[in-house]
């Protein structure tokens, strides 16, 4: 009886460790196999046409204005967010329009200065 207790303890610890690593494999996409019987779905590229976008657009409901590029629901077109706000600055133009300008490589305020120069026809 005493000999079976250590074997049961080792078996219990092994299954606990296996369950923990199995959890992390699923969470972080580990491909460690390790005897798991789960089949991972293969990711596929989105189609090379606009069907994927049109499907998302058609499923989107908005009572006011649906931004065509981000599918955000806002009250007015110029309220649409930029698709990549950490990399783009948003500027509102006349007649309720807006543009998103890349921040890339510019010092703070440089994009705004260039937009203002372009508005004046100087750029």
Please answer whether residues 73 and 50 qualify as being in contact, where contact means their C-beta atoms are separated by less than 8 angstroms: no
DSSP β-bridge partners for residue 89: 101
Residue identified by tokens 């058609």 is 58
Please answer whether residues 26 and 40 qualify as being in contact, where contact means their C-beta atoms are separated by less than 8 angstroms: no
Q: pLDDT by residue for the chain (123 residues), tens digit each? A: 455 444 444 444 444 444 444 444 544 555 555 555 556 678 888 878 899 999 999 999 999 999 999 999 999 998 999 999 998 989 988 777 889 988 866 677 888 888 888 888 887
Let me know if residue 8 belongs to a domain.
Answer: no
Predicted pLDDT of residue 55: 92
Please answer whether residues 102 and 111 qualify as being in contact, where contact means their C-beta atoms are separated by less than 8 angstroms: yes
Predicted pLDDT of residue 8: 43
* pTM, 2 dp: 0.55
Predicted pLDDT of residue 119: 84
Let me know if residue 108 belongs to a domain.
Answer: yes
Let me know if residue 37 belongs to a domain.
Answer: no
Let me know if residue 93 belongs to a domain.
Answer: yes
Specify the number of domains making up the chain.
Answer: 1
Let me know if residue 26 belongs to a domain.
Answer: no
Domain of residue 96, residue span: 64-119
Predicted pLDDT of residue 49: 87
Let me know if residue 50 belongs to a domain.
Answer: no
Let me know if residue 56 belongs to a domain.
Answer: no
Let me know if residue 78 belongs to a domain.
Answer: yes
Q: H or E segment at 33?
A: none
Sign of CA dihedral 4, 7, 11, 12: positive
């Amino acid at each position: 009886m005493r000999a079976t207790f250590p074997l049961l303890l080792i078996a219990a610890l092994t299954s606990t460790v296996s369950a923990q690593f199995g959890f992390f494999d699923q969470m972080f996409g580990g491909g460690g196999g390790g005897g798991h019987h789960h089949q991972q779905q293969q990711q596929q590229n989105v189609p090379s046409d606009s069907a994927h976008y049109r499907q998302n657009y058609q499923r989107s409901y908005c009572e006011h204005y649906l931004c065509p590029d981000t599918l955000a629901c806002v009250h007015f077109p110029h309220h649409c967010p930029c698709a990549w706000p950490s990399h783009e600055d948003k500027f509102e133009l006349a007649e309720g329009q807006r543009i998103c300008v890349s921040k890339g490589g510019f010092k703070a305020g440089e994009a705004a200065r260039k937009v203002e120069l372009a508005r004046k026809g100087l750029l």
